[in-house]
Chains A and B, each alone.
Chain A
Amino acid sequence: MTAKIVMIDYGVGNVFSLLHAFKRVGVDCILTDDVKLIQAADVVILPGVGAFEDAMNQLKNKGLDQVLKNKPSHQWLIGICLGMQLLYDISEEFGVHEGLGLLQGRIVKFHEGSLKIPHMGWNKLQRGVTHPLLKDLNNDAYVYYVHSYYASEIESSTLIGYSDYGVSVPGIVMKDKIIGFQFHPEKSGTVGEQLLRNLLEVVA
């Protein structure tokens, strides 16, 4: 039986390219905000581009924050970009806002300094550990980031891949059945496509 994969539709960002990227690796995601469909899925993808508070409010308006917080233990939850940030306890983006609290850590802003903000462009993905999510990637794997805030004070055991941008930027994190991608796999060329294939194997 193939896994039921849904992508949460909560009016945030452009999910079009993410849907297409999954289609290219052979998966038709169902885009939905229906609580029952989401609860019944094997894999839930939480996309997101935009502001943290706004995104959390959209989830709350639809009652989806509780659905995700109380997800069944066999269910995979994949957060991408802002979707990954929402998995954490707290964000400091324009004030202090509570996230879903599924991962331990704090979303903080890059320090203003010599580096340009947002962290936008292709950065090398460094391996935190050897992991099936990183299968068949060569040592020169670049991924595409666009963000001004990053996950800090995370549990070190959850770090799978990271990139250097003045600080170590968590790029891929995983704990139990929760996975987060800070960069955009759907915009990361062949590397991104490989990562999505790896992801599908891991959650299969």
Chain B
Amino acid sequence: MISKRIIPCLDIAHGKVVKGVRFEGVKEVDDPVSLAKRYSEAGADELVFYDIMASYEERTLFLDVVSKVADQINIPFMVGGGIRSLEDMHACLKAGADKISLNSAAIDDPSLISKGALRFGSQCIVLSMDVLVEENGFARVMKKGGREATSLEAFSWATQGIELGAGEIVLNVINQDGTKEGFDVSLTSDFAKRFNVPIIASGGAGNAQHMAEVLVAGADAALAASIFHFNEVSIQEVKEEVRKAGCIVR
């Protein structure tokens, strides 16, 4: 059967890896290509690269990173950030990416999901959503990296995205993001039960147990950044923990 995936996430700005805490206080970490290679060799199942500047001027720099990464690693990887058109998607895929993550642009124009899925296949189109769980329990979809509220509710937005052809969902819960206190297990578990596409849990990974917890609860993959970047835990340690918890890992 399919194994649970452990996915290091690399935020890229000016061609370098950075990690924002709660999307603020950006701190530089490492060279994306060497980091990607290191993770791939250490047993990462997939990688994610977000272009957090996502500006027109930076585009070439980001695509250059993508193609260098593709040259060096032999596991699947996803790219996101600032992808607003079929041409953007095509450029990333041509540079060697396997999957495209759509977020704010899909909120502004949901047809981007269906256009991408028709042209490149659903397996290639990932709907990434930043969700803020409000005090009354309303799961609100945010955009622009979590800075701007929308009127969308998380489950209905995911339903729509899947109907339009998204083949996978990244559920990033902003309440947890950067806290290192663990994922939002209950929301992620509800997502995994509700939807028939893989759910990638994101936001809050602080240790190996957190990763195991959310995967046992039904997530297909768990994403983390700083715990890997700062060598707090190795990918193999995470996998050991997930295996002990009864899940299949590679």
Distance from A158 Cβ to chain B, minimum over Cβ atoms (Å): 24
Contact of B75 among A116, A119, A144, A164 (CB under 8 A): A144
- The interface residues of chain B lying within 8 Å CB-to-CB of A17 are 70, 96, 98
Interface size class for chain B?
A: 20 to 34
Contact A193 B74, beta carbon cutoff 8 Å: yes
Contact A123 B96, beta carbon cutoff 8 Å: no
Asked whether B20 is an interface residue with its Cβ less than 8 Å from the other chain, the reply is no
Choose the segment among B1-9, B130-138, B183-191 that binds chain A (4+ C-beta atoms closer than 8 Å). B1-9
- The interface residues of chain A lying within 8 Å CB-to-CB of B250 are 122, 140, 142
- The interface residues of chain B lying within 8 Å CB-to-CB of A184 are 76
- The interface residues of chain A lying within 8 Å CB-to-CB of B95 are 16
Could you tell me which residues of chain A, from 7 to 46, have a CB within 8 Å of some CB in chain B? 14, 16-17, 20-21, 24
| Contact flag A20-B2 (CB < 8 Å), given A50-B121, A144-B76 | no
> A65 vs B214: C-alpha distance in the bound complex, in angstroms?
47
Distance from B114 Cβ to chain A, minimum over Cβ atoms (Å): 15
- The interface residues of chain B lying within 8 Å CB-to-CB of A144 are 75-76
> A51 vs B94: C-alpha distance in the bound complex, in angstroms?
19
Task: Mark interface residues in B58-95 (1 if CB within 8 Å of A CB, else 0).
Answer: 00000000000011001110000000000000000111
Asked whether A120 is an interface residue with its Cβ less than 8 Å from the other chain, the reply is yes
Contact B121 A187, beta carbon cutoff 8 Å: no
Distance from B89 Cβ to chain A, minimum over Cβ atoms (Å): 11
Distance from A10 Cβ to chain B, minimum over Cβ atoms (Å): 16
Q: Which of A118, A140, A188 counts the most chain B CB atoms within 10 A? A: A118
29 residue pairs of the A-B complex, CB under 8 angstroms, read: A14-B93, A14-B94, A14-B96, A16-B70, A16-B94, A16-B95, A16-B96, A17-B70, A17-B98, A21-B74, A49-B121, A49-B123, A120-B2, A120-B198, A121-B2, A121-B5, A121-B198, A121-B221, A122-B45, A123-B3, A124-B1, A142-B3, A144-B76, A146-B123, A184-B76, A186-B74, A187-B75, A187-B76, A190-B74
